[in-house]
Structure 1
Amino acid sequence: MKKILVPCDFSQPARNALLVATEIAAKSKGEIIVLHVIYLPALTDPYYGSTPISYSSGLISQMEADAQAGFERLTQNMPAGIPVKLQIEMGSVLETIKQTIHDQSIDLVVMGTSGSSGLAEMLVGSVTEKVVRHSPVPVLCVPKAVALASLKNILVPTALLLNESDFIKKLKALQNFVGATLHILYVNTPAHFRRDAEIKEALAEFIKNYHLENCKTYIKNHYTEEEGIIDFAEREKMDLVAMATHARKGLSHVFNTSITEDVVNHIAYPVWTYTLKPQA
């Protein structure tokens, strides 16, 4: 976690994300890139149909100046010794984030979430959802600023698949980084019902296959995976939820991005996600 990306619109959720990223960078001796994307939708002349209208250089310069001022306010109380820089780009928010991850060799994306619902969730949460779905590196979504030292219990909902080595490798790195206990949870639903004895056997094989340590296992019956995950996290006072996702839907009982997005939007805890690469 040496290079941390914080997409930033200078809102309170973005401030929360930067606070968390700062603690991570301090512990890892890493650096932070605060990315502000200026998105200018294409405009057309109402009298000449599809003729594009160009934005003035003065407007763009003002937006860049406003971003620089916002960045200075955002970072004025940051601890000394943590490298943090502002990167201003123009274009699509999602594509710019993905390109920055690639160009800057980012290890972790930290994003604030609104924890809202309805229209606000559609507008504010949509960017986070898209990044969760498409990011090639882990994404940490935080609804509020949390102390890194408090992340001692990590909830790991799982479908008990044995082909998630990339996810488990990064999960172990996270566990070691914060010194946490893993709480491995299988949510048994009517749609994917399995006998308890079968699940217990699969949980044991899951732990053995990935050589997991300092972990506990649980089985929870619920109507849906999302509700089961959120209910367990709240009842058991988890500090962080870690989920493997798959960008494609319809695969055999894999936590797809729709479940992960719902958890990110509706849970009051930080959520760390990693998207599995498609199998050849």
Structure 2
Amino acid sequence: MKKILVPCDFSKPAINAFRLALDIAQQSKGTVHLLNVIELPVMHDTLLMPVLNFEQQLLNELKEKSIGEFEKLITKYNTNQVKIERAVEFGAVSQMIMDHAENESIDMIVMGSHGASGIREFFIGSNAEKVVRNATIPVLITKGNTKASITDIVFPNTLELENQEDLVMKVKALQNFFNAKLHILWINTPLNFTSDTITMERLKTFAKRFMLKDYEVHVFNHPDEEEGIIRFTQMIKGDLIAMATHGRKGIGHLMNGSLAEDVVNHTDRLIWTYKLKREEVEA
């Protein structure tokens, strides 16, 4: 967590993400990269191409305004003198975030989110949800947390022993960084019901296979998997939910959705996501 990207539109959720990133970077002795993305309007006579022929002076003024807002944030919140990098980009928000992360070799993206609900969630989703779906590096979403005081991490899992090596290694590193207890969780729903005795043995086998430490295993019965994860986390007063996302797109996303994205939209806890590699998704 040496290089942390914070997409910032200067809203309250973005400021919360910045403060959280500062806290993490102070612990890791890392750098926070602030990024403001300014979306260009779309021409009325075409929905395909953004207006690219703005007066350069106007673009410069918008950029200078963002840099000025950055300085206000840094002056107010960076009391521990964490190293800060600043950037302003023009384009589609979620794509520019991911491009910047790749270009700067970012380790983790920290984003604030209002969440999304109803028709907006179904057809559009939030920028945070889009980044969670497509980013190839870990994404940490906050709805209000500004301190990295994490003692309990909930890790919902499918309990597959194969094709999870990369994900589990990332979760172990996360647990080690925060010195937290890991709660390996299986949600028992009517559609995937298995007796608790069998599931507990599978949970223990999973933990042993990946040589996990300082952990507990849990079976939680609930009619709905997403709601079960959220309820369990509330019940044990967990601080963070760590989940894989499959990064589905197009009709696959529309039909199947993503459990991680749903939890991002509806939980009030910190949520850390990591996109499974294509071969892991297909396995």
Shift of 1:172: 0.8
Opposite residue 111 of structure 1, the aligned amino acid is M
Shift of 1:257: 5.9
Opposite residue 66 of structure 1, the aligned amino acid is K
Cα contact 2:132–2:139 (8 A) shared by 1: yes
Task: Specify the alignment match of 2:31 in structure 1.
Answer: 31
Task: Specify the alignment match of 1:215 in structure 2.
Answer: 215
CA distance in 2, matches of 1:112, 1:27: 20
CA distance in 1, matches of 2:91, 2:106: 19
The more displaced of 110-119 and 217-226 is: 110-119
Cα contact 2:17–2:146 (8 A) shared by 1: no
Q: Rate the CA distance shift 1:241–1:195 in 2: closer, same or farther, 3 A.
A: same
Unmatched segments (≥5 aa) in structure 1? 250-255
Q: Secondary structure at the match of 1:131?
A: helix
Task: Specify the alignment match of 1:203 in structure 2.
Answer: 203
Task: Specify the alignment match of 1:252 in structure 2.
Answer: none
* Alignment RMSD (CA, Å): 2.3
Q: Rate the CA distance shift 1:177–1:124 in 2: closer, same or farther, 3 A.
A: farther
User: What are the superposed Cα offsets for residues 80-121 of structure 1, whole Å, 9 maximum, x if unpaired?
Assistant: 431112111112212211111111110010000114644776
CA distance in 1, matches of 2:123, 2:37: 16
CA distance in 1, matches of 2:176, 2:51: 53
Shift of 1:51: 11
Cα contact 2:10–2:69 (8 A) shared by 1: yes
Cα contact 1:114–1:121 (8 A) shared by 2: no
Q: Rate the CA distance shift 1:165–1:40 in 2: closer, same or farther, 3 A.
A: same
CA distance in 2, matches of 1:130, 1:245: 11
User: What are the superposed Cα offsets for residues 159-180 of structure 1, whole Å, 9 maximum, x if unpaired?
Assistant: 1112211111111111111110
Task: Specify the alignment match of 1:56 in structure 2.
Answer: 55
Task: Specify the alignment match of 1:154 in structure 2.
Answer: 153
CA distance in 1, matches of 2:95, 2:269: 27
Task: Specify the alignment match of 1:74 in structure 2.
Answer: 73
Task: Specify the alignment match of 1:181 in structure 2.
Answer: 181
When normalised by structure 1's length, the TM-score is 0.89
User: What are the superposed Cα offsets for residues 157-210 of structure 1, whole Å, 9 maximum, x if unpaired?
Assistant: 111112211111111111111110001110011122222222112111110111
Q: Secondary structure at the match of 2:231?
A: helix
Cα contact 2:168–2:210 (8 A) shared by 1: yes
The more displaced of 11-20 and 139-148 is: 139-148
How do 1:108-119 and structure 2 match up within 5 A? 108-115=108-115, 117-118=117-118
User: What are the superposed Cα offsets for residues 209-238 of structure 1, whole Å, 9 maximum, x if unpaired?
Assistant: 111010001101111110100111111111
CA distance in 1, matches of 2:123, 2:74: 26
User: What are the superposed Cα offsets for residues 133-179 of structure 1, whole Å, 9 maximum, x if unpaired?
Assistant: 1111100000113322x210011111111221111111111111111
CA distance in 2, matches of 1:13, 1:105: 24
Opposite residue 107 of structure 2, the aligned amino acid is D
Q: Secondary structure at the match of 2:229?
A: helix
Cα contact 1:139–1:272 (8 A) shared by 2: yes
Opposite residue 110 of structure 1, the aligned amino acid is V
The more displaced of 66-75 and 127-136 is: 66-75
Q: Rate the CA distance shift 1:57–1:228 in 2: closer, same or farther, 3 A.
A: same
Opposite residue 207 of structure 1, the aligned amino acid is A
Unmatched segments (≥5 aa) in structure 2? 250-255
The more displaced of 116-125 and 268-277 is: 116-125
Aligned pair count reads: 270
Opposite residue 231 of structure 2, the aligned amino acid is D
Shift of 1:127: 0.5
CA distance in 2, matches of 1:68, 1:122: 34
When normalised by structure 2's length, the TM-score is 0.88
Q: Secondary structure at the match of 1:182?
A: strand
Task: Specify the alignment match of 2:86 in structure 1.
Answer: 86
Report % sequence identity.
Answer: 43
Q: Secondary structure at the match of 1:76?
A: helix
